[in-house]
Structure 1
């Protein structure tokens, strides 16, 4: 695998070692291999780790197949993939409702990761999971296309540098915007579920914006400061406004969970390009 990156104009000068270790989060073992094999090039010439790189410089890294591990998945149907954004390093796709993000068993073939693996196999590339959506939730999901960028995207997610906006329809009338801060923990009686747990739960923050109010439902937009399992679903249900169609947190039968990952915004870590991916939620 060969990765070539041109440092953007805003990039501050730093050594190759600092770039690999602190900015690109290359694991220590892989950095060792890059150094001993002399597999780092600066502007087309072999480079040592103490060389300085600045804005406009071109860095090329050569990786061996064994430098990074990959868990193979069964190939699904590439025709299912709806691409919202794609470049050589990452891809954002629109996940259909009632589809798992990734398999839990090696024999599974019908998850989003299976279908994306088939799509990328045509380009001799592989998908790596950055984050996930619940099976019942549709919308924008980000994947890495190589293991080099994977930890960088993971750090961006942790540092809230990847903005995700959700659309939901809830039961009842919500009269004003609200920020929900109740802690979330596991349900001791049902392993599938999460509950508000003020004592033992993990911190969770959901910002809810009211969009439209009808006779018995409200359309809202949600932005998360944290990424707990079922966070939006648990928080809204605890407020007395469960999401329409939620099979776990409400009892009224409907066709689907009305929760959709509407937008994903981020700044590309290599090019500094502003990326805005939108997954339209259909008629609702």
Structure 2
């Protein structure tokens, strides 16, 4: 069981303990923290407390994080769109609507289920729920993902992501007409305090940078290519909303009246990285899916 400690700061005075701890680590949900408190895994000044405990400056918090439950993820035969594969890495084009990896309560139909049926060797660094997964794209975003088939490949690919040397370019359609051809959004992202299922630009967020350039302008929309420098959750969706050009079709970050497309018009079209074993730079490109192409045709015709 992993243990973590946290000392309450002056500006956290009077805050509920579960709220404070869910901001200490962005991966912890408030519900999860509340369960740890009920189970006696959270001590304040070496004493057990209730979930509604109000913090005082210099309170010493000790959190005992229980080991995650081992869940049985079942291989499922799927017709995967594999762009490249060797003994170390695999590049797959994920369709819109598919979740990348299982989670409690959602153990089937994910890309990982399909990968486990396709190949028996995936890196185990990320545990039983995310074998081989080094980065993700959202359920309703289509496009290319690199997958590690062993731990050597996993560590190499993760290091490249950390060092920002992986090429990740996305095509997107956004609301509004962007007047300038190029732009960079440099704005930190964290979980939205008002809406826990969403991310937002906040002062205390993690460093996040997105570069974009305009490919085509339409009457009320713009077709853009975005390049990720960092890879925060929902980064392109949050950044484009932040500058006033939310993604078309985005049910979470876009306007209520948007295009009918079953999710955001966002496609991870270009992926490039250095091969973990050979040291050779490899780059792959996946064409826009049919519904995205149809959307562009419709906008061109209307324009």
Fold-level similarity (TM above 0.5): yes
Runs of 5+ consecutive residues of structure 2 not aligned to the other structure: 1-69, 123-130, 294-303
Determine whether 1:152 maps to 2:151. no
Where does residue 268 of structure 1 map in the other structure? 275
SS at match of 2:159: helix
Question: Alignment partner for residue 223 of structure 1, among 209, 218, 227?
Answer: 227
Runs of 5+ consecutive residues of structure 1 not aligned to the other structure: 1-69
Structure 2: how far apart are the matches of 1:252 and 1:146? 45
1:1-284 → structure 2 map (5 Å cutoff): 73-79=73-79, 81-105=80-104, 108-120=107-119, 124-126=120-122, 127-176=131-180, 177-197=182-202, 199-250=203-254, 251-253=256-258, 254-255=260-261, 256-283=263-290, 284=293
Aligned-pair distance for 1:105?
A: 2.4
Dislocated runs of 4+, deviation >3 Å: none
Contact 2:90/2:147 (<8 A) preserved: yes
Change (3 A) 1:142 1:273: same
Where does residue 62 of structure 1 map in the other structure? none
Aligned-pair distance for 1:225?
A: 1.2
Aligned-pair distance for 1:103?
A: 0.5
Where does residue 10 of structure 1 map in the other structure? none
Contact 2:153/2:277 (<8 A) preserved: no
Structure 1: how far apart are the matches of 2:188 and 2:214? 22
SS at match of 2:73: coil
Structure 2: how far apart are the matches of 1:178 and 1:245? 22
Query: How high is the TM-score relative to the length of structure 1?
Result: 0.70
Structure 2: how far apart are the matches of 1:71 and 1:87? 28
SS at match of 1:73: coil
Q: Relative contact order, CA 8 A, sep 6+: which one is greater? A: 1
RMSD after superposition: 1.7
Aligned-pair distance for 1:71?
A: 7.7
Aligned-pair distance for 1:107?
A: 6.2
SS at match of 2:152: coil
Aligned-pair distance for 1:282?
A: 2.4
